[in-house]
Structures are given as structure tokens and as C-alpha cells.
Amino acid sequence: MLLSGSRNLLWMIPLALLLTSPVWKPGVEEFLSPHGNLKVKTGNSVPDKSFVLTDVQLSRYENGQADLVLHAARVQSGRRGMDSLLLSKVDALLFDQGRERAHITGGEGSYDGDKQILTIVEDVAVIVKNRYELRADALRYLIPYKTIKTAADIFFKSKDFTVRGTGMSYNLASGAYRVGGRVVSDVK
């Protein structure tokens, strides 16, 4: 006989479970399924590295001396994480060889850590230690070159003269500046 013996009975148990599964399977699935408000995360398995900080002070040092001290009311990670920061209510002190050279304030900004560029927009004001004052809608501070650049309309003044133009480059280390576009100057 074909179905006799313990060896033949061994394959009959899985066959019986398979044939009767429509009866018992829904009850087992219900028992094993998670209950409650469980959310399963699918898709990207990379952890979220974004952050938002308030009332922040960031400092950058070069050769053991202060190079940049930046205060911001709010700092948020950019698209590239820590290499890109978005800033609100920026107040920055710029240094050259440990000596304070300029003070920059502005509304919004960003810091690109790869290129080492601080960009500030929205009512930007720069006061240089030798009492020059620069106002512009936007500017960039190129940290490795110690240079402030803008392509926007500028208003640059000191106690002896005022200059209006479009675009400017100012080197903190040498004090050299260049104004572009149509330049209007008033000398006192």
C-alpha cells in the first residue's frame, strides 16, 4: 500500500496543512499582526541628519587665532548636512591674524563649509575697524581670501567720503577695495 508506514505519513502532514490553510490562516495572521499605531518606515534607510538650533555662536580658528565669530538667532542644516548651514539674524565678527577687522550684520545667510563662503542677504551692513561702513542688499565673505564681495548696489562711506556704485571687493588683510559699475563719489 502506498500510504502506509511512517515515511509516507511524513509528507502527509505538510499536505494537510496546505489544504486546510484557508481555514486556519486568517486567525493566525490576526494573532501575529502588530496592533496599535505602528508605522513602518519604508524607502530611504539613511538617517535624517537635519537640525535646527536657536541662539547660536559659531567660531572658526586659524593657526590658533580667531578667524570668524558668528552669532545667529537660528541655524538650520542645509541640503548637505553639516557642510551647509542656513542662518537667520546674522551678526559676524571677522578677524585677520587674531585682530578684529570687520563687523557684519544682516537678516538671512548661509555658510558653505566646502567652499568656505559666508553669504549674507537682506539689509547687510559692514563696519570695518578703520571706520569704513558698507551697506548692500547681499554680500559674500570668502574666508580663505579674507575678501568681502558683492555684485549688488553698494553705499560705502567713511568720515571723509561716500561712494555709491554697483559691486565691490574689499580685502580685510590689505585694506584694498574696488568698486564697479557707475561710481558716484562725494569727497568732504
Query: Domain residues of the chain, as ranges?
Result: 1-33, 52-187
Per the prediction, the chain carries an average pLDDT of: 83
| In the predicted structure, residue 178 carries a pLDDT above the cut 90 | no
H helices of 2-160, where? 6-19, 21-32
| In the predicted structure, residue 60 carries a pLDDT above the cut 80 | yes
- Angle, helices 21-32/6-19, rounded to nearest 10 degrees: 70
**Residue 142 and residue 169 in contact, taking contact as beta carbons nearer than 8 Å:** no
Predicted TM-score of the model (pTM): 0.69
**Residue 174 and residue 184 in contact, taking contact as beta carbons nearer than 8 Å:** no
Q: Which fold has domain 52-187?
A: lipopolysaccharide transport protein A fold (2.60.450)
* Residue-level pLDDT at 48: 64
H helices of the chain, where? 6-19, 21-32
Pairwise pLDDT comparison (7 vs 54), residue with the higher score: 54
